[in-house]
Structure 1
Amino acid sequence: MTSLPPQEFTSVARAEAPLDENRGFACHVLIIGGGASGTLMALHLLNASPDMRVTVIEKSALLGCGIAYSTTDPGHLLNTRVHNMSAYPDRPEHFRDWLRQSGMAPGATDESFVGRQIYGRYLNDLIARERDLPEVSRLRCVKDECLRLEETPKAVIAHLGDGTCIRGDRAILATGHAVPVQSHAVLTSGWDFTPPADPGQPVVIIGTGLSMIDHLITLLRNGHRGTITCVSRRGLLPQVHTETKPLAISRGHVPLGAPVSAILHWMRGLAADAERQGGTWRDAVDGIRAHVSAIWRAWPEAERRRFLRHAASFWEVHRHRVPPDSARWLQEARDRGQLRILRGRFEEATMGEDGLIAVRIRTSGGERVLPAGRAVDCRGIRRDPAKDSAPVIQDLLARGQSRLDPLKLGIDTNEWAQVLLADGRPSRRLFAIGPCARGAAWEITAIPDIRVQCAELARHLHAIEAQDPVGVSRG
């Protein structure tokens, strides 16, 4: 499989109608961000009502790709099977059918794991079809960055990088994952997949999660011969996908509000039940998935903190698993001694006089220094939303027009995805979805969850539009 050439994607850039022209639609929604979250939101808004007009504002030239799906390495696979990656939760066959009809993966089945770049092409194709309809299009795509959102009694106004403004009735923040500001000058960003100049030099990767797997695969696919050392505090690796049959768990059997310890005990019991029935713990985890957000919302702040401190890393490696092909790269590298996994805390990285990077870590046995031709930071997507988020979010925070959730996972929202102001009141016109608002639901970083949130918000906005066209009555 080869990477897709740029011309295979539809660009945002094209002649647009005047930015403030609404063409008589009942509601004009601005979507800030055109990655996977923003694209899914646009598709569901257009699907929910013929009276909805949508403008997507995206600084990249490509819609639908974002960080995750703009990779050019065909070895970077989706971590979810085809049947659970449709843009529409009520049409599970949609992505599979597109793969076959488009020729991107003619032999794809519901159980296949395909390349992430192909998924970006899928979302890009869906949004391009909506934009290029022969009749008056309800979708407009603007290539620019939204720097500021101004909410007035009658509208919300997006201020763009080129100095122009777009007026809408509501705005939805869909800026996706915030890329952490690189605080160590000698560390390579986890999103830089450029192979090292010398394939024989040692590489150190800080982190042992999904980003590490991507880097490992890129290194090995490009013929890297040197040792690869991966370091994280617990040394946990993502588990591998196998065939599963998710347990059917009704909401009434979920101990909502129980402390973390009790929830973990309940989960272990479900895993044991699955194994007694001839399955595996994966059946339990996949059955619990539908209830994770409800469990999270039912916890008080103290229990959420306890989960993040003691259990989140274990949940992540069991919940976010890797395809067998990806796991095979890792296992073969370990078997031949090229890859090693260390438990330790990263301290610092400095450039040595010998031209190698000295990566200092602290393990249970004391301090160690690892030499590296390249050191890569794969510790995660977001560590400080106040610093790492998109400029529009930083501006909203600075002006008190939004706030971070108590755990500082992202923008604080209520159950209807309304952005909460600094004083806790919900905005009447501003919403946030997906990873940028993770604190409200926790499990809102993967497509199967984001698409459901988008569908629900689209239906909600359509329903309230007839009742309260100048605001959100629930606000």
Structure 2
Amino acid sequence: MEIALVGAGAAAVGLLDALATTSLARVRPGLITVFEPSPHLWRGRPYGPDLDTVLVNAPPAIMSIRHGDPGHYAAWLGESGAAHLDDLLGQPLVPRHRYGDYLAATAEAALRTLRANGWRTRIARARVTGVERRGDRLAVVAADGGRYAADQVALCVGGGEPRDLYSLAAAPGYVHEPYPLARTLAPIPADARVAVLGSGLTAVDVVVSLAARGHTGPITMLSRSGLLPHVWQRPSGHRPAHVTAERVATAHREHGTVPLGHLIGLLRAELAEAGEDFDAFAADLLAAGTEDPVRRLRRQLRSVGDPRIGRRVLQETAHTVGPYAWRLLPESGRARLRRHFRLATSVASPMVPVNAATLLRLLDAGRLTLVPDVRAVEATGGGFAVTAGDSAIHVDAVVNAVNPPPQAVPRAAGELVASLVSGGLAAFHPAGGVVPADPRVQVAGDLAGGGPFITSGIPGIAAQAARTADAMLTLARDESSEAPATLR
């Protein structure tokens, strides 16, 4: 049995951990090969070396890469987390490169467990350009021409790249890919007028990091919506009893589909059981599009300790139950949710209080400005001209913080995906991403087609990795049981 994992980011770590902690009975040990050309194994794009101001954007219970074990990351962090405590959140928030250490430690532990169970493992520092059928097996093709036999292949290649919405790629002073911020922010003069494209979590990272580096010039966050991420609230320990995958599965069995109204009903029941008003909660969410964003930010910072569970439940289940429920929704329900894309992203991917407090301090001091309704950004030869509404702004530098679209194919994986599709091993999903067309191929992470429009967080990646491991081991067991006795 030979398994190939293409990519060595968070999805690959979750998959290796799930394979190592799942019973391997009746599966003859073989070889697992992980293909990754990057020097930063197991970290992917988000968790490589960077500034200490680039923080993990969620409490530890949300960041476990082991599905079903929310304490896994916190246990690894141990007492060292006390040095990174967010006083408002009451939880440790470490730099993202430190979380990368956790992913690396988890991957290495999984590899040791697999080897202890008789599996051989190897890391191939090669970029994969294709997968081909070779009789009843597969061949993984590397950019250097090497070919590696495999019985199963899992794509763990991460997400796509940021979009260049205003065609600025060749303009001096424009930063297209912001990470690592330690490298990309260094050339920007401290007194430069800086525009940050976007107002989501990446934009927050850029602004907070500029401030931490001693930037004194004005900073402008540009976006079409002007909507900031919501702010995390202090974890309450509440575990959803109604908005669960089991309740969604029951509805699907009974009705053959899961209308959006049914999911709303589950959330309504969750809040009612806690004595909370669903209608008031929904009205507050929808007001985000019209309420002054600075006023809303100030109000949310004051309510970090609010005991009400509404937003907490929505934030947790958006990444755990959401991907499963999305696939069962009728298209009318999906279309309705897509109309609230910016709001959904803002709620599902909140910012941590320590960053929210920094933003508010900069806003109050006049060093940061939020500008909505951006229509154009043009290079002028001596900077950039920004058109927003009826006003014009001139800046010296532009940092792109527009997030990649969900289910986008990474540029480095384009040739590989094209090979899988042309060979009939995978197919493009109509809504984006890639779906397997052969049971020997799996897709884990944000590239998996058919998922929601919200970029996968760690809980979703961990859940998907566990499902992928189950599918791979089930196929391996089925093939083992069908093999002649002499081959077992």
TM over 0.5, shorter chain: yes
Q: Is the 8 A contact 2:221 2:371 kept in 1?
A: yes
- Higher normalized contact order (CA 8 Å, seq sep 6+, divided by chain length): 2
Equivalent residues in 2 for 1:196-211, closer than 5 Å: 196-211=187-202
1:153 CA displacement:
3.8
2:16 match: secondary structure: helix
1:84-112 C-alpha deviation (Å, 9 max, x unpaired): 322323433332222237x5767879932
1:59 match: secondary structure: coil
Aligned equivalent of 1:112, options 81, 92, 99: 92
Code of the aligned partner of 1:82: P
The answer to which of 139-148 and 399-408 deviates more is 399-408
2:129 corresponds in structure 1 to 147
1:281 and 2:310 matched: yes
1:326 match: secondary structure: helix
Structure number with higher helix proportion: 2
2:292 corresponds in structure 1 to none
1:390 CA displacement:
1.5
1:80 and 2:58 matched: yes
Aligned equivalent of 1:373, options 396, 408, 415: 396
In structure 2, the CA distance between the partners of 1:213 and 1:268, relative to structure 1 (3 Å rule), is farther
1:65 CA displacement:
0.7
Equivalent residues in 2 for 1:181-220, closer than 5 Å: 182=164, 183-185=167-169, 186=171, 187-192=174-179, 193=181, 194-195=184-185, 196-220=187-211
Aligned equivalent of 1:404, options 428, 431, 454: 428
RMSD: 3.1
2:302 corresponds in structure 1 to none
2:10 corresponds in structure 1 to 36
Count how many residue pairs are aligned between Structure 1 and Structure 2.
424
Q: Is the 8 A contact 1:248 1:287 kept in 2?
A: no
1:455 corresponds in structure 2 to 466
In structure 2, the CA distance between the partners of 1:87 and 1:63, relative to structure 1 (3 Å rule), is same
Equivalent residues in 2 for 1:67-466, closer than 5 Å: 67-100=45-78, 111-131=91-111, 138-180=120-162, 182=164, 183-185=167-169, 186=171, 187-192=174-179, 193=181, 194-195=184-185, 196-243=187-234, 244=236, 245-249=238-242, 250=244, 257=257, 267=267, 276=276, 279-286=308-315, 288-289=317-318, 290-308=320-338, 310-352=339-381, 355-361=382-388, 363=389, 366=390, 368-382=391-405, 385=408, 388=411, 390-391=413-414, 392-397=416-421, 401-408=425-432, 410-411=433-434, 413=435, 419=436, 426-440=437-451, 445-466=456-477
Runs of 5+ consecutive residues of structure 2 not aligned to the other structure: 278-306, 483-488
Measure the CA separation in 2 of the matches of 1:130 and 1:267.
Answer: 36
2:19 corresponds in structure 1 to 45
In structure 2, the CA distance between the partners of 1:173 and 1:470, relative to structure 1 (3 Å rule), is farther
1:19 corresponds in structure 2 to none
TM-score normalised over the length of structure 1: 0.79
Code of the aligned partner of 2:229: P
Q: Is the 8 A contact 1:349 1:358 kept in 2?
A: yes
In structure 2, the CA distance between the partners of 1:272 and 1:232, relative to structure 1 (3 Å rule), is farther
Q: Is the 8 A contact 1:169 1:429 kept in 2?
A: yes
Measure the CA separation in 2 of the matches of 1:150 and 1:433.
Answer: 19
Measure the CA separation in 2 of the matches of 1:178 and 1:190.
Answer: 11
Measure the CA separation in 1 of the matches of 2:15 and 2:454.
Answer: 17
1:118 match: secondary structure: helix
Runs of 5+ consecutive residues of structure 1 not aligned to the other structure: 1-26, 414-418, 420-425
* Identity across matched positions, percent: 23
Measure the CA separation in 1 of the matches of 2:100 and 2:315.
Answer: 25
2:188 match: secondary structure: coil
Measure the CA separation in 2 of the matches of 1:436 and 1:69.
Answer: 18
2:290 corresponds in structure 1 to none
In structure 2, the CA distance between the partners of 1:94 and 1:264, relative to structure 1 (3 Å rule), is closer
Q: Is the 8 A contact 1:130 1:137 kept in 2?
A: no
1:175 CA displacement:
0.5
